Structure 1
Amino acid sequence: MVEKEGFAALVLRLRAEGISDLDLLTAVEQTPRSLFVPTAAAADAYSARTTPIECGAFMEGADLAVRILHHLQVKPGQRVLEIGTGSGFTGAVLGRLAERVLSVDRYKTLVTGAQRRMDKLSLRNIVIRQADGINGMPGEGTFDRILVTGAFTSMPRFYAEQLVSGGAMIAPLMREDGTCMMMRLTKTGSRFDREDLFPVPYLPLVPHIAAAL
């Protein structure tokens, strides 16, 4: 019941923002957020608040998570790379929209937890891996969409070769004033067209996989 009410309230807030993409909202509805948040936060699963999860990581509020996916514009048949698995919620929604999702995180604890949730939801087209994604995943071919949930301190131009022509990447970029802006980079030939979207509360990306967690 909490799940249904939480989702209905989220849809109303998103519609007020102009987000009414039926495929996306259906994918969100089929991915119960209470499965991804810590038990103590289940009542707030659909709120706009940021939720702390294991390994010092956090889960975006429901509104921000869906807003980012809305701007990513994933289509059926596409391959998606996600840098920063976290709880696995965004990856699970992506898995319902795309052909194949590769999601990586530096923390083994988060990778294991997210994999368990994918298995529970019978999502078989999502590969979750512990890896240092700061330079993307060279050697994995090209992707139609790339989503990064840790902030870069400079434009990540090296990702260009991991995107198909016409592909798009959404990533946060730290600005000189210390704020963080979500941007969409669309690949045209060998260059990126940049569009600033909205401020986000992300922290800078950390290199290397985590040793202990």
Structure 2
Amino acid sequence: MAEKEGFAALVLRLRSNGVSNLDVLTAVEQTPRSQFVPPQFSADAYSSRTIPIDCGSFMEGADLAVRLLDGLHIKPGHRVLEVGTGSGFTAAVMGRLAERVITIDRYKTLVAQAQARMEALSLRNVIVRQADGASGLSGEGTFDRILVTAAFSAVPRFYADQLVAGGSIIAPLIIEGDQCMMVRLTKTGSRFEREDLFAAPYLPLVPHIAAYL
């Protein structure tokens, strides 16, 4: 019951922010968010507050997570790369929208937890892998969409080789000091068209996989 009420309240908040994509909202509804938050934060699963998880990482508030998913414009048949698995919630939702999702994280602990959640939800098209996401993921071909959940200090142009023509990436960009802007970069020829979406709180990208966690 709390799950349904939390989701209903989230939908009302999202609609007031102009998010009403039925495919995205249905995928979110089919992915119980309470299964992705630490038990002590279950009451906040559908709130807009940031929730701490293992390894010093955090989950975006539910509103922000869904706004990012909405902004990606994922279509059936798409291949998606996510850099920064975290709890696995956004990857799980994307798995219901796309043909295939590869999500990577530097922390073995988070990868193992996310993998268990995908198996519990029978999401076999979501691949969870421990990898250094500082330069994306080479050797896996190109992707239609890339979602990055750690902030860059400059537009990550190296991702252009990992996107199909017309593909897009959403990533947080540090614009000054600790201010962070979510931007959508769409590949047009050999360049990116940049669109600023909204300000958001994000941790800077840390290279290399974690040695101990």
TM bracket, shorter-chain basis: over 0.9
- SS of residue paired to 2:204: coil
Once the two structures are superposed, residues 97-137 of structure 1 have per-residue CA deviations (whole angstroms, 9 ceiling, x without a partner) of 00000000000000000000000000000000000011000
Matched residue type, 1:144: D
Structure 2 gap segments, 5+ residues each: none
What is the RMSD computed on CA atoms of the aligned residues? 0.5
In structure 1, the residue matched to 2:98 is 98
In structure 2, the residue matched to 1:137 is 137
Matched, 1:182 2:182: yes
Matched residue type, 2:153: T
Structure 1 gap segments, 5+ residues each: none
Measured in 1, the distance between the counterparts of 2:172 and 2:27 equals 24
Matched residue type, 1:42: S
In structure 1, the residue matched to 2:72 is 72
Measured in 1, the distance between the counterparts of 2:199 and 2:209 equals 27
Matched, 1:196 2:196: yes
In structure 1, the residue matched to 2:32 is 32
Matched, 1:121 2:146: no
Matched residue type, 1:90: T
User: How far off is 1:176 after superposition?
Assistant: 2.2
User: How far off is 1:18 after superposition?
Assistant: 1.0
Q: Provide TM-score, normalisation by structure 1.
A: 0.99
User: How far off is 1:142 after superposition?
Assistant: 0.1
Matched residue type, 2:76: P
Report matched runs for 1:6-45 at 5 Å.
6-45=6-45
Measured in 2, the distance between the counterparts of 1:197 and 1:11 equals 20
